[in-house]
Structure 1
């Protein structure tokens, strides 16, 4: 049967359109569970990250963001039917910037604390500890946290590690011991560089970061497993935090949560469900 050229063109266009709708239909069918008006930029979830803490977040040789938290942020956004955008900044500026509404959430491997849970809506998603590391050629020997007394320890500013060390230092002074000299830096990368330069005796880092530099033989493990705490995401709006917690619970149910954390050597939460923890802002 003869078919005119216009008919052939129409048929081809119809076929292409059908293929396009088939390929994109799932995207159009995806409806975000985040209530309207709760995101800084509708349709986008904007997360801050400090990409100086491999393997959780770092910049590769091509300038691209990589790491577990970056993968987690992208997967959560996919499940929430929004686009994820990352804002790079040093950790000390993150909490004030979140309160000021510059972005929607913090995704940087932050330790959970009661104080933080009262100023943000926190969603714990993993467990971590503090490791004390020294230079590879250091002769430093540590048996427990009391052996940190009288030492100079490098740490990331305004971090859980810094607060934990200050508490140990106060305990030492109350008992008549020497304080811990705490040297704070803006990023974990600066802490590691200063350690390598011999600016202090040892560094206190989250276990995932300490494990990475020990594996690269940039440091030696001196005392692992101190001050265990939950690692948390944090958000300025409760509705966003609850949507993220639900998406994380879905990841737990289908096994993708375990696969992601296991691939980076992170410890999974033992809880039955992932939820918002704490009261949030008053």
Structure 2
């Protein structure tokens, strides 16, 4: 556990208005096992556990609000929220308005109905497949790029998109046969497959990327959150949380640095 002097140092690094008022935290409400609302209405997930541990480390209250993914970035920009625990990917577009604190690496995976014979073992296998995706998500953007590069540009059948309001709806579209496959974080899809028994992961996993906390661009809170998370890494709390959720693997981070998009 952190020493009192370390906690005091983190607290002192917070801007005064966070010391006085706490931190308003938006939490994505439907991205298990990262962040989700359980059957009793309680926020859960490995990212939520990290938020609570960071809160304890900083010594100020976090005011949590569960919300849809599409409300998080506008809420941060409008200053309704100060931090977003929403498993963000740090896209160039998002980096125009946000900085990011990486929590761990997450691979992008593909899932099909448990009874399906469809194989997605290579990027080329996505061509001609009907995918249900969460509209505007990192995964939607990734699949759109792969469709252009690997399918359309090379004369293969284009991906067919069934864009949904959220990932739960995308997974339902696959289970009900309205789409052949979905794309999302492999940890997310593995959890859904285990919980429902109606999906299975294919063998293709794209290169892992950072799964991040978002804060307003230039807000000193980002550096403080990163330093608090680093202290959780250093004293073993971070690894304990990952073990609790069954994801203590080589995608855990050892060094936490704020992603600003200005890195040389």
Normalised to the residue count of structure 2, the TM-score between the two structures is: 0.87
User: Does 2:162 match 1:180?
Assistant: no
Matching residue within 169, 182, 193 for 1:214? 193
Q: What is the CA–CA distance in structure 2 between the aligned matches of 1:45 and 1:257, rounded to whole Å? A: 21
Matching residue within 205, 230, 255 for 1:249? 230
Write the mapping of 1:252-271 to structure 2, written as runs, cut at 5 A. Answer: 252-264=233-245, 265=247, 267=249
Q: Quote the residue 1:274 is aligned against.
A: 256
| Residue aligned with 2:93, SS | helix
Matching residue within 192, 203, 221 for 1:240? 221
More deviation, 73-82/220-229: 220-229
Write the mapping of 1:31-42 to structure 2, written as runs, cut at 5 A. Answer: 31-37=11-17, 39=18, 42=20
Structure 1 spans left out of the alignment, 5+ residues: 1-25
Structure showing greater Rg: 1
Matching residue within 174, 192, 200 for 2:179? 200
Contact 1:127 1:229 in 2 (8 A): yes
Give how far 1:81 is off. Answer: 1.3
| Residue aligned with 1:238, SS | coil
C-alpha spacing 1:58/1:179, structure 2 compared with 1 (3 Å): same
User: Does 2:83 match 1:105?
Assistant: yes
Q: Deviations over 1:69-103 (max 9, x none)?
A: 11111111111111112222211222122111110
Contact 2:106 2:251 in 1 (8 A): no
Matching residue within 104, 128, 138 for 1:150? 128
Contact 1:92 1:186 in 2 (8 A): no
Give how far 1:58 is off. Answer: 1.8
